[in-house]
Structure 1
């Protein structure tokens, strides 16, 4: 008699990255219990995965006390992706900090009460690593897993961008503090990513694009006179590689436990390179693209990062280059644009 599949709880399952993680988990043969915030999102996720070993449940607010108590029952592994990523918050505490920090501690507290949970994988961000208050900082800085953003709570409460940086930084620190304080039976693996590009599997509209996709759409909806904007973060990764990293984090042995990993493609990039790819692959968009001045854009290449640990310890092979990633994303954006026009 075949053994029953391992059971994974995936939070925030309707997100851009989470949908890719969900697809890969199902392909790997896991049973997935997925959380979403609303009935509409529940139906959308179920529609994409008809007949799969999938249960979708609604969790309206991940920061509510005890919200994961029942959801984590009979679960072997947890992948926690649910956390806001936008730069339009007006109440930094309620919209950014609380969902990230309390959402993380709530999922850890619930998991600690379940004997079966073996590992919790937390989706974080390079925003917790790159020291944004000091950018551009010393030229040639190479970030690693040892680095932490120095953003303060005062800065996080004062500005939406710092609120996002703070939300990721404080949530990661809260996770490590929880592990040290309570010493649960499970371990954690934290994955830190920069901008994530690639195809969209989840249900989005041009008005509700995730932040990384919205950046690319703004580039292909510009004008030649506008000029290419500064590349605030010269690091990127394909969403399919990030999803694979999450699966590998579940499968990895105890040696990767209670560690953080930087997940990003080799080298650095600029928005100018993105524009060049679009111009090459979609020549009919030429009149919608900003023109490069040829001058170095402020901030480009001032720092880089080392992803060696993700390769050597997680075993992650980065399969997609920038052209693959941007081409797939722009194809989806243009299809979405066409669909919007027809409505």
Structure 2
């Protein structure tokens, strides 16, 4: 039985990945910084792969420290580097995000190589693909052949900087040391929450559903269902042709307004956000608002990401944006992330099986 190391075991993607790896027959060792989020990991395993819970081991290791990594790599056949620092607001000090991304990736690969592990699958992002190409208006399709040019970005963005530098460092190290690397590139990750510790991106749905977002920016994004993202990691592990490849795990371009309309149709009586913000206001506020700084590069243009290569690796169609949005909403209500308004009705239709 192969043992797979999953970094950042308490994350949204990592919990689904651990569940899918266990269900596929692998033993899993997950890393995390401390014990505070351990209950959420076990809750996820009990939901996703209860009969295999005994094959999960959790160990402490921090991306910014060497402590624990040598032991974590012992007896491991492959590494899935999923851990990342993600903030909902642009930090004043970009290193809060950039250092864990870059130093953490270098550390994980260095200790993997030291333990004789060749196979690494890394969670990257569309942030390393579709930025710094001079697109400020119009529509453009991006593929795995595109790589973000940080030097040409009009507005800096710490997550984009960290992810791009980390991926470039990973490819350079893998090539120099003969390691077998694959990178997976999701967009806005939605889908079913397994417990109360959900992702920042899930807040996109809950804030629209609860009317917490006062008005929507006129931008769109590629939605990635967390079940697809996790499954693509497993598919890459099991397909040697994926070695040396980048894979977009992205669905069709979907706007904030599209997401709101899906929620409005399926959750009558909920105070779903209806207003939109003109682009000129967004541009005016960028200097003062850390959240807007994270989306300003998408204002006034449409970035489409061709996920067909990743879909072929997956071997089945992606979950649709509607399925991902509705699974997010249903699970957020179930785990208590958002409470149902008194006068709201039940959803008109179900999102489908949470675990399908």
TM above 0.5? yes
Are 1:199 and 2:156 matched, yes or no?
no
Instruction: Specify the alignment match of 2:98 in structure 1.
Output: 97
Deviation at 1:337, TM superposition (A): 4.3
How far, CA to CA, are the matches of 1:127 and 1:236 in structure 2? Answer: 13
* Cα contact 2:249–2:311 (8 A) shared by 1: no
How far, CA to CA, are the matches of 1:173 and 1:202 in structure 2? Answer: 33
Match of 2:209 among 215, 220, 245: 220
How far, CA to CA, are the matches of 1:66 and 1:106 in structure 2? Answer: 11
Deviation at 1:257, TM superposition (A): 0.8
Tell me the SS of whatever aligns to 1:56.
Answer: strand
Please list, as runs of the form range in 1=range in 2, the aligned pairs for 1:65-80 lying within 5 A after superposition. 65=66, 67-80=68-81
Instruction: Specify the alignment match of 2:224 in structure 1.
Output: 237
The runs of 5 or more residues in structure 2 that have no matched partner are 47-52, 283-297, 342-356
Residues 318 and 109 of structure 1: CA distance in aligned 2, closer, same or farther (over 3 Å): same
Instruction: Specify the alignment match of 2:175 in structure 1.
Output: 180
How far, CA to CA, are the matches of 2:186 and 2:231 in structure 1? Answer: 13
How far, CA to CA, are the matches of 1:52 and 1:340 in structure 2? Answer: 36
Match of 1:53 among 52, 55, 59: 55
The runs of 5 or more residues in structure 1 that have no matched partner are none
Tell me the SS of whatever aligns to 1:52.
Answer: helix
**C-alpha deviations, 1:241-295, integer Å up to 9, x for none?**
1110010011011x22122111111x2111111111111110021x342246999
Deviation at 1:142, TM superposition (A): 1.2
Please list, as runs of the form range in 1=range in 2, the aligned pairs for 1:1-343 lying within 5 A after superposition. 5-49=1-45, 51-59=53-61, 61-65=62-66, 67-86=68-87, 87-93=89-95, 95-115=96-116, 117-132=117-132, 134-137=134-137, 139-152=138-151, 162-183=157-178, 186-204=179-197, 209-222=198-211, 226-231=214-219, 233-253=220-240, 255-265=241-251, 267-285=252-270, 287-291=271-275, 299=299, 302-312=302-312, 314-335=313-334, 336-337=336-337
Residues 211 and 300 of structure 1: CA distance in aligned 2, closer, same or farther (over 3 Å): farther
Residues 250 and 293 of structure 1: CA distance in aligned 2, closer, same or farther (over 3 Å): same
How far, CA to CA, are the matches of 1:223 and 1:215 in structure 2? Answer: 10
* Cα contact 1:6–1:76 (8 A) shared by 2: yes
Tell me the SS of whatever aligns to 1:176.
Answer: helix
**C-alpha deviations, 1:173-203, integer Å up to 9, x for none?**
00111122222xx301001111011111144
Deviation at 1:98, TM superposition (A): 1.0
How far, CA to CA, are the matches of 1:319 and 1:301 in structure 2? Answer: 24
Q: TM-score, normalised by structure 1?
A: 0.83
Q: TM-score, normalised by structure 2?
A: 0.80
Count of aligned positions: 316
* Cα contact 1:219–1:289 (8 A) shared by 2: yes
**C-alpha deviations, 1:283-320, integer Å up to 9, x for none?**
021x342246999x9847623121222133x2442341
Deviation at 1:91, TM superposition (A): 2.1
